[in-house]
Each structure stands twice: as structure tokens, then as C-alpha cells.
Chain A
Amino acid sequence: GENVEQHPSTLSVQEGDSAVIKCTYSDSASNYFPWYKQELGKRPQLIIDIRSNVGEKKDQRIAVTLNKTAKHFSLHITETQPEDSAVYFCARTDGLTFGKGTHLIIQP
């Protein structure tokens, strides 16, 4: 089946700086693009998603952008805080495959 490629695998940023994580997909029929956050020892939880009829969606400090031409979608976190430290996963539209995850480390 189609996969999603997620980069980078690890991202370390200074507290207060921005972080960007990118996922690339190959299926042109994809129409749903979610991002999940998994804190240490906890279950993954959806933090933001976007459908193919919009190019960007924001929720306070987090945003997701979609480039259908280039077939990638990105998670943007601004003004990073210690509680943003976690593993972030993107997922394929059908929900059956997740990206390999990005370990986001917020340096004090």
C-alpha cells in the first residue's frame, strides 16, 4: 500500500523557537491528513487535522499546511514550550499506516 514518509526523525529546538515536521504521501486520492502527539508513556492523541479542500488550518500555536501539488503536509508549532516535547506522527488518509514518528525535544 501507499506509505507516508516523515522527516525529521528527531528535532531539537530551543524553547520559544518554532518547529516544523513534514510528511510526504504518494496517493493522489488522499483527502485527510492528521497529526498525532504521543507524550512519554501515554497514548497517541490527535492534535490537528486537515482535509484536502483547505490549504491551512490553525489551532492556537499549532498549524497544519497542505501542499497537494507537491503531496506533502506539515505540522508547525510556534513558540515551543516544554510540554511540546513528545513524539509526533502523521498518518495516511485511510488510517492504516503512520509515519515513523518525530521525536521533538524542547531545549530550555
Chain B
Amino acid sequence: EADIYQTPRYLVIGTGKKITLECSQTMGHDKMYWYQQDPGMELHLIHYSYGVNSTEKGDLSSESTVSRIRTEHFPLTLESARPSHTSQYLCASSEAAGGYQETQYFGPGTRLLVL
């Protein structure tokens, strides 16, 4: 079944550690996104991509990096985790349909706790 997957689902880590959050989609979508969201609160865009070898910065991009080497894979790396990074991270994807925005499909999220 076509879906979008995130691993790990939960992560507890110490300050200063480097972490990579994985996101994969089997929907064949070109566009992918990373958001940070505290429970029930606003979605903040971290990074996005229009396709392979394309990466763009969102509002919260300064402390993280992404790569898009394959269409289906869009990992997010925090170089040095801090307690302020404690949050939920949501990955999403959508088609890039001739300039028209399409529905975004979200993954289940990764809940990160930095001690």
C-alpha cells in the first residue's frame, strides 16, 4: 500500500548528539517536506524539496540539514541535538502537478526528546 513512513517513531537522546530522522514514501511524489510541531500546535516548516537533488530551507532550517538523493527518501539530520529540539517531527509529500499544489500526505511522525 502506498504510504509515507518515518523512523524512529520515538527517540530519547542526550544533548550534543547527532541524529538522523528517516522519511520514506512509496507514493511516487516529487515534493517532500519536514515540519516541526508541538502537540496540537502550529506546523513549522523546516525544509522541503521539489525533487531529487533539490532542497530548500524553511523557517526553522538553521540547525538541521536534509538530502534528497532518491525520490522516495528525505532524511533530516540534526547536527547537535539540544533540549529546544524536543518536539514532534512530521514528514509529508505531495505531487508536483504542473504548477498546481496538491494534497499533502503526512507520515506518522517522530517524537524526539532531548535530555
Contact = CB atoms under 8 A, between A and B. Distances in A.
Interface residues of A, number: 25
- Chain A CB count within 10 A is highest, among B33, B41, B45, B101, for B101
Contacts, number: 50
Interface in B63-115: 90, 94, 100-109
A95 B94 contact: yes
B106 A44 contact: yes
Contacts of A38: 40
Interface of A: 31-32, 34, 36, 38, 40-41, 43-46, 49, 51, 87, 89, 91, 93-98, 100-101, 103
What are the 9 A-B residue pairs with the smallest beta carbon separation, nearest first?
A43-B106, A98-B43, A32-B101, A46-B103, A100-B42, A95-B101, A44-B106, A87-B40, A93-B101
